[in-house]
Amino acid sequence: MNKIAAIAGAVVLLAGGYYLGTANQPEPTVIKVPAAPKAEFASDGAAEVIAASGTFSVRAWETPTSGEVIIVKDGESIQDAVAKAEPGTLIKVMPGTYKETVYIDKDNITLSGVIEQGRYPVMEGEGVRNDAVLYSGNGVTVENLYITHYKGNAIMGQAGNNFIIRNNYIVDTGVYGIFPQLDKNGIVAHNIISGIEDAAIYVGMSDNVDVVYNQVFESVAGIEIENSRAALVEGNYVYNNTGGILAFITPGLPIKTCSDVIIRNNFVVNNNHENFAIPGSLVSNIPSGTGMLIMACDDVVVEQNIVTGNDSVGILFTDFSLATSASVDPDSEPNPNRPKILNNIMQDNGNNPAPLVRAFLATKLETRGPDVADTVGMDDGCILNPERFRTIGLDKYSECAFSDTKNVLTYTLPEPVAPRTEESNMDSGKLAYYGVCAGCHAYNSRMIGPPTQIIQALYMDNPEGIAAYAAKPVKKRDDYPEMPPQGHLDEETRLAAAKFMLKLSK
Amino acid sequence: MFRVLILLTCLLANAPGLAVEHAIVLNADCPPGFELSSGHCELRSLYQMYPSLQEAGVGGLKTGLPEWRDGFSPEQTDLGRYLFFDPVLSGDGSVSCASCHHPDQGFADGLGQSVGIDDSVLPRSAPTLWNVAFLKSFFWDGRASSLEEQMQGPLYDAHEMGSNPQLLLKTLNEIPAYQQLFAQAFPNDFIDSGSQVRLDHIYAAITAFQVSLISLNSRYDQYAHGYADALSGPEKEGLNIFRSFVARCAECHTPPLFTNQQLAVIGTPEPEGMPFDAGAQVPMKEPSQRGGFKVPSLRNIALTAPYMHSGRFASLREAAAFYTGGRGHAVPKGEELKIHWHIWEPNLTDEELDRLVDFLMTLTDESFKPEQPSRLPSGMRPVHNNVADAGGIIDGASNHE
């Protein structure tokens, strides 16, 4: 009787999960640019739905565009287009094969593949190139690319806020498929990734990232959230990896914490792939057959996932005892504090535990792996309906005081991260003057260049004159060396520095 | 004004009879890179326009700086400069801070193992002082947590500068010129006629000078701020190799400082004949940190050969090639090290190593290099240009792999 009730409940919950999953409409992939070439994706209606409801929008921001479009055709170079692009440019990449590394070191660039009749623009690494796309600008979108045979990563971000990585097809690209690192506010959605020797999707040292609706398989780790805060992992299909979904602290990194990760509405199925990680890497320690692994990450919510057929364990909460290959970092707190396991469907897990898990089970006089294990035995965890699952180490868990996280539609920010707020010392003219010009000019004493006072007397009300001269100086004074050109500062900054220089009084 | 003073003092140095009458006056201007704000010098940099995740100061091109030290007065900074170059701080007057941290050698000394008092050969190399304002831990093994704490190591080590607190105080308090300069730099502590120089004054002044050594205006920085032509094609290739997840350099040498300030066990070899250095294991009493050293900044790295904690690699090319030699390839037999996970086999080609070196050369910037005083308050001559002479010097520059 109990069992039937449980199954009925499970079906209802499953339906509920399904409902929630579809209620959060996937973000529109329509590319809203005038004069856009053919072969866009059609609207899926999300914009209309949101407009009709008029109450909220989820992940609705886009990389700002200026209307400028550059089209890259087969045989041309994507990097040449990036080099020409001003912020706000949409770069359309036509189907074809592109053998290059593309790096985007400017803001608000949309790199968008054009898919025709299922034909993608292919970025081909031929097993010799390092990474397909590197970005370090804010507001970068990378979408609709087929990326294969790179040695490093398919798409790697380094401190680019407000990124969107979506609809990419990534096959066999080495270490990571998609790797945003040290970024704030981003979306990784609707990518299909396989054959990665570390994590297919790896969110490293980042804040406010949604990883949603991706398909990841045949990789060592499916989705890894590492040393990050406020990450939503939702609606992903994660199967046949060594480990499915990971939320982790890696010790020894400069950003030490991991917290507030919601893992919900995912399919985490049959993650039994042999571990083919590089020896020495942290993921080389993951036991094959791990559905989810939460290591040292705090306030992780596991909700409405279907976790089935993972041969070692469904969900594993642990400390650094798995990270035996890393040096101890006293600044990294090892416990997975306040774990929260809401309703989930877990079935058929632990049928053939990997040796490491088998050894752990032996200490508990068990041979079959559980649905949920907590190797630390946390006393601040909670779980709903624990009687439904085979568990180890959850004796001190209480009943969760809440049943869902539907108030959190997204962990991305409602608006893109703005540039640093204008503070009193954030005047670019002042910063350029003291940070660059002051190497040669002091207010009233001779350094390498003439004193600022003398320049003030010469230019008075003419900051434009200073800015122009600094860009292309000519030798003026026999008693001073020729000024090196300062054209590396953009016009605006040069003018601001000149204005600051003219009003300086000490 | 300052330059004039220097010229003047140069002249005076040749005329000792006059020197007494023209006492040194400390510079009332902040060093370049700093704004004078209510008597304090505050750092200003274009990097302050950028955010940084969790304020950690690690990221990519347009990422803000980590927390820094500033706020000293111009006079304290200038007093620190005199102390830094003055051999009177050493036990026998033979070495100054600048002996091992020479401004013309990237504030290092060009040696694999530095040479201290009595030509003692020390176990590790002198790290650069450029950008120490941003660092949270000091020494190769990270055992000090402030510059004030750090400097007491070399000052009082029998083999480095060979002084001790009592001697140092006695020496400086017996030099009237220093008495006057400390009074200029710390006026609130010298109101009474009997006021004495204290150790914390000395530490603060030297710290003030050290944190003024800012290097954030390299060609790389021009590129980072948005000037695409600042780097050549090969240099940009080098940047992309540097930050790629194949070479993984930027994972630990993370912009904008090109260090993530963590400890890492990477397993570099010692020079021939030198015993294995246990590194951070010793201060941390942590076996898994055996062979662990602080990730050094790569800014001005082209100026500070040889490389690694004991200078095993003579050139940047050799240092870069270490990382493609295979995980643990140089670990001595019998040592079990927890080699960092980013050390792997990236199989970098010769061309890629060349490009990496091209890129590393773009991190050089000495535009804020301070003047070296030609006259010192102690009346002693600067010694930092004397060539270190030690029979047993292991010079990394002649130690090719």
Test A328 with B50 for CB contact under 8 angstroms.
no
Q: Which domains does chain B have, with CATH numbers?
A: 2-59+68-214 (1.10.760.10), 219-361 (1.10.760.10)
Residue A347 has pLDDT above 50, yes or no: yes
Q: Is it the case that residue B227 has pLDDT exceeding 80?
A: yes
pLDDT digits (tens, 9 = 90+) for A20-54: 444 455 454 444 443 433 333 344 555 555 555 55
Q: Which residues pair with A399 in a beta bridge?
A: A383
- Domains of chain A: residue spans and CATH: 33-41+62-302+309-334 (2.160.20.10), 428-503 (1.10.760.10)
Give residue-wise pLDDT tens across range A260-307. Answer: 999 999 999 999 999 999 888 889 999 999 999 999 999 999 999 999
pLDDT tens digits, one per residue of B43-73: 999 999 999 999 999 999 999 999 999 999 9
Band of the pLDDT at B197, cuts 50, 70, 90?
very high
State the pLDDT at residue A49: 52
Contact residues on chain A for B244, CB-CB shorter than 8 A: 101, 130-131, 134, 152-153, 156
Distance separating alpha carbons of residues B247 and B267, to the nearest angstrom: 16
Which amino acid is present at A137? G
Q: Do B62 and A138 touch (CB under 8 A)?
A: yes
Tell me the pairing of strands A340-341 and A298-303: parallel
A114: tokens are 């054009």
Is the distance from CB of A286 to CB of A318 less than 8 angstroms?
no
Residue A454 pLDDT: 92
Query: How many degrees, rounded to 5, is the angle at CA B154 between CA B151 and CA B155?
Result: 75
Cβ–Cβ below 8 Å for B245 and A105: no
Question: What part of A 74-93 touches B (C-beta under 8 Å)?
Answer: 83
Q: Give the per-residue pLDDT at B395.
A: 46
Of B239, B250, B341, the CB nearest to A325: B341
Average pLDDT value over all residues in chain A: 89
CA distance B61 to A158: 8
How confident is the model at residue A43, as a pLDDT? 46
pLDDT tens track for B142-169: 999 999 999 999 999 999 999 999 999 9
Q: What pLDDT was estimated at residue B239? A: 98
Q: What percent of chain A lies above the pLDDT cut of 90?
A: 77
Q: Tally Cβ neighbours within 10 Å of residue A492.
A: 11
Q: In terms of Cα–Cα distance, which of B61, B98, B63 is closest to B82?
A: B98
Whether residue A286 contacts residue A236, with contact meaning beta carbons closer than 8 Å, is answered with: no
- Strand duo A267-269 + A372-374: pairing: unpaired
| Nearest residue on chain A to B369, alpha-carbon basis | A439
Interface test with A, best of B25, B44, B295 (most A CBs within 10 A): B44
- In this predicted structure, the answer to whether residue A16 has a pLDDT above a threshold of 80 is no
Please check whether residue B283 touches A, CB under 8 A.
no
How many CA atoms lie within 13 Å of B382's alpha carbon, on the beta-carbon side? 21
* pLDDT of B399: 37
Of A157, A184, A445, the CB nearest to B1: A445
In this structure, are strands A121-124 and A146-148 parallel, antiparallel, or unpaired?
A: parallel
Locate the chain B residue with the closest alpha carbon to A447: B3
In Å, how far are A83, A355, A436, A459, B45 from A488, measured between CA atoms?
A: 16, 58, 11, 22, 15
Pairing of strands A69-72, A90-93: parallel
Q: Which of A148, A146, A261, A158 minimizes the C-alpha distance to A195?
A: A148
- Are B53 and A136 inside 8 Å of each other by CB? no
Q: How far does B316 lie from chain A, in Å, by closest CA?
A: 21
Calculate the alpha carbon distances from B258 to B261, B333, B361 in Å. 9, 32, 13
Q: What is the pLDDT of residues B318-348, one digit of tens each?
A: 999 999 999 999 999 999 999 999 999 999 9
Q: Which residues pair with A96 in a beta bridge?
A: A121
Query: Cα torsion at A153, A156, A158, A163 (round to 10°)?
Result: -170
User: CA A262, CA B86: separation in Å to the nearest integer?
Assistant: 59
* Mean pLDDT for the stretch of residues B226-241: 97
Q: What is the ipTM of this complex?
A: 0.88
The pLDDT of residue B14 is above 70: no
Q: Is-contact B262 A328, C-beta < 8 A?
A: no
What residue type is assigned to position B72 of the chain? F
Categorize the per-residue pLDDT at A83 as very low, low, confident or very high, splitting at 50, 70 and 90.
Answer: very high
Of A176, A254, A439, the CB nearest to B245: A176
pLDDT given at position A446: 84
pLDDT tens digit sequence for A430-464: 999 999 999 999 888 888 899 999 999 999 899 99
Q: Tell me the pLDDT of chain B averaged across its residues.
A: 91
Out of A83, A176, A207, whose CB is closest to B53?
A207
Mean pLDDT, rounded, for B28-32? 95
Q: What is the distance between the alpha carbons of residues A115 and A174, in angstroms, rounded to a whole number?
A: 24
The length of chain B is 401
Once rounded to an integer, what is the mean pLDDT over residues B11-37? 73
Token representation of residue A390:
């085979």
If contacts are CB pairs under 8 Å, which of residues 248-287 in chain A contact chain B? 252-255, 278-282
User: Could you tell me what percent of chain A has a pLDDT over 70?
Assistant: 88
Q: What is the per-residue pLDDT for A7? A: 44
Query: Which residue, chain included where needed, has tokens 């074809």?
Result: A96
